[in-house]
Chains A and B, each alone.
Chain A
Amino acid sequence: MITLENVSKTYEGVSKIVALRNVSIEVKEGEFLVILGPSGAGKSTLMRCINRLVVPTGGRILLDGREVTSRRRELRAARRDIGMVFQQFNLVKRLSVLMNVLSGRLAYHTFWPSLLYRFDQDDKRIAIECLTRVNMEHKAFQRADTLSGGEQQRVAIARALAQEPKVILADEPVASLDPKIARQVLTYLKQIAGELGITVLCNLHQVEYAREYAERVVGLSQGTVVFDGPSGKLTDDILQQIYYRDPETADDRD
């Protein structure tokens, strides 16, 4: 489904920062993969490399056997197949919930109908169905900034689902939520992805959640993969390795 081959990323700037070093991961269809690592390990960069919000400096990324490139038309098509959920939800606050979900349909249209913020009936049906899946249809006409954090993240999941994606990238989806809401959001994510057969890559920094939800865990530390295996095999030794820079964070199970 997704193949990462020797992906590297170096941020050029005042000082060079190596975010990713030769990362190779193979993700199978329908998998729920958790990428685990302390903050600053390069998890976000890795995700953004997949849909090219960040352009990697080395290696290649294959989606369904086709390389994701920077050519605009191909990139739009690839991004349409990859939904994304963010830590800060990133909803457009002044638009209604429904409009936010509908914006997940943008890649299916040229910009002419978008000029008047118009969508066709099918788009609306899909959007409302997605909202129903996260049980947010009753708030469809409210403005996004009237919702609580957990609700906003559910709407963000609905937006990603509205793309009818093959893959969802969830970048620290629960880092800004309290534990109870966090579990709820992760449950939605896992359950819906399972029902629809969507592959999910989820960044987390809490081991607790990784053990609970992941089928497979990739441990990332300082831009390199240090563990790749089922969540059951996450031993304290391995955690020590993932979080080795400052071992206390390993105890930080929220």
Chain B
Amino acid sequence: MADPVQAAQEDVLAALIARKKWRFHHIAFMAVGIAFLAWAADGVDLSPKELADGIPKIAKYFALMIPPKWVFADTVWQPAIETVYIAIWGNVLATLIGLPLGVLAARNITRLAPLRFFAKGTLNLLRSISELIWAIFFVAAVGLGPFPGAVALGMNYAGILGRLYAEAMENIDPGPVEAIQATGAGRIQVILFAIFPQVLPQFVTYMLYWFEVGVRSATVLGMVGAGGIGFELVTTIRLFEFRETAVVLLIILAMVTIIDLASSMIRSRIY
């Protein structure tokens, strides 16, 4: 008695083997791929030996973190909250800058090609340069502290959110837009009545999601002096205060987890 499932599987397998005849260019392709990966591995010092050396060292590093020195939490909780504030303002600024640019970059809203091109270019520039590089720039401008951190986060995220907003607006159902246009409504009225209501839930989802990501990014802004918990983290790591590092890491994790939960709760309620 032949098992039908097995028979089917064998058939599929046979067909697969028949189709996947090895040709020369397949082999050449594989060889090039493997050579590329080997070359890349060589470039980044990734080798079995390095791994065998490195991983025990990393394990040892983490082992030294136990037990965490809980008293250190007293010094860290304030910068931790500051990190959240930076993320909040970073995202507010990102939306304030990104939304107008996104509207200008959306194909179905802005008809003027040069304007659209300009908006897209600006968004790309904002997006490509990491928040840490922006932070270096703003720290140089206004001095150390969380304020330049928030502005830096705002700049980078304006680029990311602006592009997402633009894409969301480009992908809406064009029917209602046509209907509102047909009533004789003006440009801005069409945006307000036909486009915004359609994309609003998506906008809120993006904002919440990038707020979560923003909190995670804000934890490292302190490395370049732009406020938040990153400064404490760098200091303890540089001074090899393993048990203090553990406390900082745990506080970051707790913070991120709470915010993830809260935001997924809000997100499940908006639709």
Contacts and interface: CB of A to CB of B under 8 A. Distances in A.
Interface of A: 51, 53, 75-84, 86, 88-95, 103-104, 106-107, 109-111, 114-115, 117, 156, 159-160, 163, 169
Contacts of A79: 181-184
B175 A88 contact: yes
B194 to A, nearest CB: 6
Contacts of B178: 53, 86, 90
B17 to A, nearest CB: 41
Given A86-B178, A103-B180, A95 B192 contact: no
Contacts, number: 89
A92 B198 contact: yes
A92 B176 CA distance: 6
Given A53-B181, A90-B176, A76 B186 contact: yes
Which of B180, B182, B184 has the most chain A CB atoms inside 10 A of its CB?
B182
A111 B191 CA distance: 11
A107 B188 contact: no
Contacts of B97: none
B43 interface: no
A117 B186 CA distance: 14
Interface of B: 175-176, 178-186, 188-189, 192-194, 197-198, 200-201
- Most chain B beta carbons < 10 A, residue from A95, A106, A110: A106
A91 B182 contact: no
A110 B185 CA distance: 9
Given A110-B186, A111-B186, A115-B192, 10 more contacts: A51-B182, A76-B184, A81-B184, A92-B180, A103-B193, A106-B189, A114-B188, A115-B188, A159-B179, A160-B183
Contacts of A76: 184-186
B181 A104 contact: no
Contacts of A84: 179, 182-183
Contacts of A107: 183-186
14 contacts: A80-B183, A83-B183, A84-B183, A86-B179, A88-B175, A90-B178, A91-B179, A92-B193, A92-B194, A103-B183, A106-B189, A107-B186, A110-B186, A115-B188
Interface pairs A-B: 5 shortest CB-CB: A107-B184, A79-B184, A80-B184, A90-B179, A106-B185
Nearest to B199: A94
Contacts of B176: 90-93
Given A86-B175, A91-B179, A93-B198, A117 B192 contact: yes
A95 B195 CA distance: 11
A91 B183 CA distance: 12
Contacts of A156: 179
Contacts of B186: 76, 106-107, 110-111
Most B-side CB within 10 Å, residue of A51, A76, A90, A107: A90
A81 B198 CA distance: 26
Contacts of A169: 182
B172 to A, nearest CB: 10
Nearest to A160: B183
Contact of B198 (A75, A94, A106, A163): A94
B190 to A, nearest CB: 8
A77 B186 CA distance: 11
